[in-house]
Amino acid sequence: MEKKRLTRSFYTKPTLKVAKELLGKYIVRKINNKNLEGKIIETEAYIGPQDKASHAYGGKITSRNRAEYLVGGHIYIYLVYGMYWQLNITTAEGGKPECVLIRALDLDKLANGPGKVCRYLKLNKSFYGEDLTESKRIWLEDRGEKIKPSQIIATKRIGIDYAGPYWANKKWRFVLKS
DNA sequence: GTACAGATTGAG
DNA sequence: TCAATCTGTACT
């Protein structure tokens, strides 16, 4: 099977397009010469600064969210609830706070939630700002799997009711039907 | 300096 | 249904 690392041009496309195209791609995490891999089956788009659910709403830059402004293809990782890491991949051009949250991998309960994805892949703050097109320990691969539009389910995003009904009802969460 | 909510999860 | 657990942000 052909394996191809995704390059910068994949990530710099519009965020919603990248979020959908990430479905079916494989994330590869190399630990001590062993590869942990999983197919991405659920993503969620965050498009700041107009997106109230985004940490960059209003164009804010803090030490927590600054990675969100990096050019597409970088990791934006942060801690929520004091215990769970959220793995995001930045999209669009540099200076634009847009990213895609990786919510689940096809790993049967091992990674069926954003916190679990990071636990399984052993990700932590040392990956903050990691470049997925250059890194030797984590990257994304295209393995030639073709995803049909009919396999993609668009739903409302999760856990952001505080952003108000307009943003909370945006169907920016994408799930790959198996 | 202090208060408090949050892109979650797992146990009860 | 709720506790675990801690960072960023908005107060004083």
CA A141/CA A7 separation, integer angstroms: 9
- Whether A94 sits with its Cβ under 7 A from any strand B atom: the answer reads no
Q: How confident is the model at residue A40 (pLDDT cuts 50, 70, 90)?
A: very high
CA A174/CA A41 separation, integer angstroms: 8
CA A153/CA A167 separation, integer angstroms: 18
- Whether A82 sits with its Cβ under 7 A from any strand B atom: the answer reads yes
Contact (CB, 8 A) for A19 and A153: no
- Whether A47 sits with its Cβ under 7 A from any strand B atom: the answer reads no
Model confidence over A91-133: pLDDT tens digits?
Answer: 999 999 999 999 999 988 899 999 999 999 999 999 999 999 9
pTM exceeding 0.75? yes
Chain C: nucleotides under 7 Å from a protein CB? Answer: 4-9
